Amino acid sequence: MMVFLRVALLGSAAQLQRGLGLEPPSEASDGFFGPKRWRIRTLAIAGTWIALLAYSVLLAPGKSPDERVADQALIQQIFTTPFDGSVNPLFCCIFNMLGIWPMIYAATLLPGADRQSPAPALPFVAGSFFLGAFALSPYLALRENRSVAGQSGEIDWATANILENRLTAVVLLAFAAYLALFAVGNGAIGGFSPSEALSGFMPVFGSSLTAHVSSLDFMVLWMLFGPVLLEDGRRR
């Protein structure tokens, strides 16, 4: 788990460093949004997507008959009683964050996306609500850089009034903060027991296919968001 987390942190930090122009001039000459850098980004995201698929299908734990039964019980609990203590708080946080990440990506990818080629954003963003990075990564790899912000008249009603609404941002931020406090408090808001939450999470991560793949999905979505955020800020 810690290895995957370090990779996600390093990947995200490297992308932000390059995007903010903090790398050496010799490496930044092409520019973060230049054609050469964009091709490297495409190959990196495509490779990450293939690796995530292959690992989830071939190497992820939780595929024995007993583990599958336990996994089914975990899925039922996370959908019916996620906050009553029957589910590890850290996994509960990660799983619910997989509903917040697609909203964040939608708010940054959909405005003006109808003018972007070669693939439409909406099907991939919609798919990310169910499949996370498995559905979104191909679009992130194929999409072209947008340097011009969409005009208000070009943005559809749902994007303008829901995704770009400040109330939506406040609700998402509040829910994310609640999940973070729930996780670090090991199920007790106001507490601080991250080590207990992590120690309880590791056995679940090592034996449950759902918990394992969901955690990797969360880290990939986190790692790939850097260029999206930088491009969105650059256009605005």
pLDDT in tens, 124-161: 999 999 999 999 999 999 887 766 555 555 567 777 78
Residue 37 in tokens:
């850098």
- Mean pLDDT for 163-179 is 93
Q: How many angstroms separate the first and last alpha carbons of the chain?
A: 36
Q: Do residues 183 and 90 make contact, with C-beta atoms less than 8 angstroms apart? A: yes
Name which of 20, 180, 26 is nearest 92 in CA terms: 180
**Taking the complete model, does pTM exceed 0.85, yes or no?**
no
Residue 36's pLDDT is 63
Residue 205 buriedness (CB in 10 A; 0-12 / 13-18 / 19+): buried
Q: Would you give the DSSP letter of residue 114?
A: G
pLDDT in tens, 176-227: 999 999 999 999 888 899 999 999 999 999 999 999 999 999 999 999 998 8
Name which of 94, 137, 134, 116 is nearest 225 in CA terms: 137
Residue 32's pLDDT is 47
pLDDT in tens, 28-77: 444 544 566 668 888 999 999 999 999 999 999 999 999 999 999 999 99
Residue 90's pLDDT is 96
- The whole-chain average pLDDT of the chain stands at 83
pLDDT in tens, 88-102: 999 999 999 999 999
Sorted by where each begins, the domain ranges of the chain are: 2-235
Q: Do residues 70 and 208 make contact, with C-beta atoms less than 8 angstroms apart? A: yes
Residue 147 buriedness (CB in 10 A; 0-12 / 13-18 / 19+): exposed
- Mean pLDDT for 14-22 is 52
Name which of 78, 85, 144 is nearest 116 in CA terms: 144
Residue 129's pLDDT is 96
In 110-193, which ranges are continuous DSSP H helix? 121-131, 133-142, 157-158, 166-184
